[in-house]
Amino acid sequence: MRELTNAICARAKELLQSGAAGRVLGWAPGEFFYDPTPGVFSEGRLNELVYDGFTAANLSKYCIAESQKEGKVLVLLKPCDSYSLAQLVKEHRVKRENIYALGIPCEGKLDMRKARAKGVEGALSFREEDGQVVFETLYGEVRLAREELLLERCLCCRGREYAGVDETLEYALPELPKRDRFQKVAALEEQTAQERYAFWRGELSKCIRCNACRNVCPACSCVQCVFDNPQSGVAAKANSTEFEESLFHIIRAWHVAGRCTDCGECSRVCPQSIPLHLLNRKFIKDVNELYGEYQAGADPAARPPLVNYTPEDPEPSAVLERGRA
Amino acid sequence: MSLYAMDRARLGELYEALGALGRVYLPTRKNGASAFLPYGEEGSEADLSLLLCDKSPKDLFFPQSEELVKFRLTGAEIALQEAARQKEPFVLFGVKACDLQAIEVLDRVFLAEPVDSFYQSRREHATVVALACARPAESCFCTAFGIDPTSPQGPCDAVAWLTESALYLRPCTEKGETIVSCFAGFAPADEKEVAAQQAAARAVLGRLPYGQLDLSRFGEASDELALFDHPAWEELSAHCLGCGSCTFSCPTCQCYDIRDYDTGKGVLRFRCWDSCMYKDFTMMAHGTPRKTQKERFRQRFLHKLVYYPKNNGGLFSCVGCGRCVKKCPANLHMIRVAKALGGEPRAQ
């Protein structure tokens, strides 16, 4: 990955020198190997930029604030991240003229939570070798297959296409697994209503209402969320009942329906490991089935199905038929 | 006090027997996350070998949300009904040294005058058993705060050690003695195995990357204004998402909000955890005193490293558990902040 990082830095440097942008939004190293943080770099500090298996954060949402500042920012976007930025541009949340989007290749990002669950304790460093991730730990060396450690979203990689970037950096990387992203959703659909209810109650009752899912979500770009607005009548700071947590997550899923690009940040950051992406994928699957294949962020000219009307749209009674099935 | 031991294979029997002392809360895995949950809940698995639960035990003394009082309106009459205090005893088993110190931190807030009687009633009804750490993680930095995770000290009734084959227990209060007396599987034991585990764990502690994190610029004698005005805050906070995952995972964060809920027939007054990272934290009629995320971010860390220690004889209100290290979506955790502020200001 060092070679790719160097290539990114070299191109970023050229772009800064050419005046295409004044600063770079990328990832800065953390205090461990797995905790890089989004960072803004001047040309002199580009050597600090990191890009490796743990730079998972989608930088698109930061473009809302960055694009309001003076001058142009060069943002590094992995293929899936680029859809989020394109969607934000479509929704006029980002001042596109202040952004220079450089698409950078990705071979899937790693999930430290999975590594810990697979017995990686006290990890001090990591390296990648032939499809394996090798951790040096306080208790010895642990080797795991890279595929076993991929973030959920990377197991169903959307591919190497970018949406709406200004240029892409070419660099050959191994292919990623392409599992069916709707597999779990389909399995849940097969369950009885009671089983599904029990599943979601079990998951959502873990919620601590920290709002990490909402605050990281590129589709959640409201200046003030309805759940933070004391005038709204639904401001819910108290984590008092499972019902309230369910309501929060379901309303949020509705609000981002048709706009969610399936970037997977919600599940990645949840401190309680709730598979929130499943709610969004259910909506995506329904939209695909009822209105035809639609990928939020892919086409700036497309009319989003949920804010569009065509005579072919399904009738509301579709809900009843589906409920009966 | 004396040391006792029991067969590790009989832990299930111990948990059952502890039921005689009240509800038993144990480090438990459930639905892919861990917390201190009542023993025997369906679909849950108690596991003392968990290094640290996702959720700290603070909920048991200071729940995320609790009712304080109800006002019921009938005609012109207002009836007031105070929420009940804890009346049932319970056992909190398996608290690690960091989380135990966190209870001490909370005690100094809630048990100081004016005493918080809700918190107090839960503390008084609890039997707390601490559990030593055998295999610390890289994210642990409790030793930087002077905590010895191999020999937990603080507001507990007994200290336990879990080895390959046995659970050792050393009661330190009368309540702690009742744990030994309620289960016939305990027998007096010698220190040998415990000492061996402690020695092995201490060797690992010596290799923790931030076990000796430099905190010399913080604490009781720190230069509060210099830290407040430190140039590093700008960059440190720039990408904070303003969520509450650090706050709500933290074993010592103790801020809460009090709100009234209109029930239609009166008012239900409740309190719930609040986060200084939130925009509406301490919102008042004139607005909020901290208008930017930088100010909110700075508040959280200076509270842990400066304000609390200055008010509490030098005791830090970070205990080095490392939950924020593992959970912050942007990885803006205590170690990062302490390092950035602890050294010389970084060139911009």
Chain-centroid distance, C-alpha A294: 17
A126 vs A112: CA distance, rounded Å: 11
Instruction: Considering only the beta carbons, identify the residue of A139, A205, A265 that sits closest to B135.
Output: A139
The H or E element spanning position B66 is strand B65-74
The residue behind tokens 């299930």 is B12
Closest-CA distance of chain B to residue A28, Å: 10
Please report residues of A whose CB lies closer than 8 A to that of B341.
none
* Closest CA in chain A for residue B203: A138
Contact B33 A273 (CB under 8 A): yes
Chain-centroid distance, C-alpha A105: 16
Share of chain B above pLDDT 70, in %: 98
Res B344 pLDDT > 60: no
For A24-42, how does the pLDDT look when each residue is reduced to its tens digit (9 = 90+)? 999 999 999 999 999 999 9
For A93-139, how does the pLDDT look when each residue is reduced to its tens digit (9 = 90+)? 999 999 999 999 999 999 999 999 999 999 999 999 999 999 999 99
The whole-model pTM stands at: 0.95
Regions of chain A where pLDDT drops below 70: 236, 239-244, 323-325
| A·B CB contacts under 8 A | 131
Sheet containing strand A99-103, edge to edge, reads A37-41, A23-28, A73-77, A99-103, A167-168
Q: Where are the domains of chain B?
A: 4-205, 224-342
Contact A122 B136 (CB under 8 A): yes
Q: What angle separates helix A277-291 from helix A242-256, to the nearest 10 degrees?
A: 40
B3 vs B171: CA distance, rounded Å: 8
A224 vs A214: CA distance, rounded Å: 11
Token digits of residue B219: 């604490």
B345 — pLDDT class (breaks 50, 70, 90): very low
Please report residues of B whose CB lies closer than 8 A to that of A122.
135-138, 204
Omega before B114 cis (within 30°)?
yes
Closest-CA distance of chain B to residue A315, Å: 37
Predicted pLDDT of residue A174: 87
Closest-CA distance of chain B to residue A307, Å: 29
From A234, A273, A230, A269, select the one nearest A250 (Cα to Cα): A234
Res B347 pLDDT > 50: no
Closest-CA distance of chain B to residue A270, Å: 8
Predicted pLDDT of residue B239: 96
**Helix intervals (H) in chain A:** 2-18, 62-66, 79-90, 112-117, 152-155, 183-190, 193-204, 212-216, 242-256, 265-269, 277-291, 318-324
B8 vs B237: CA distance, rounded Å: 46
The mean pLDDT value of chain B amounts to 95
Res B227 pLDDT > 60: yes
Instruction: Considering only the beta carbons, identify the residue of B279, B331, B339 that sits closest to A228.
Output: B279
Contact A139 B210 (CB under 8 A): no
Contact B64 A208 (CB under 8 A): yes
For B24-73, how does the pLDDT look when each residue is reduced to its tens digit (9 = 90+)? 999 999 999 999 999 999 899 999 999 999 999 999 999 999 999 999 99
Contact B204 A272 (CB under 8 A): no
Task: Write the DSSP assignment of A155-215 as a string of letters.
Answer: HB---S--SS-SEE---------B--TTHHHHHHHHS-HHHHHHHHHHHHTT-----HHHH
B38 vs B264: CA distance, rounded Å: 34
For B88-131, how does the pLDDT look when each residue is reduced to its tens digit (9 = 90+)? 999 999 999 999 999 999 999 999 999 999 999 999 999 999 99
Q: Give SS3 for A120.
A: coil
Q: Is the dihedral of CA B16, B22, B28, B31 positive or negative?
A: positive
Task: Write the DSSP assignment of B310-336 as a string of letters.
Answer: HHTTT--S-----HHHHH-TT---HHH
Determine the average pLDDT of the residues in B309-320. Answer: 98
C-alpha R_g of chain A: 21
Predicted pLDDT of residue A242: 62
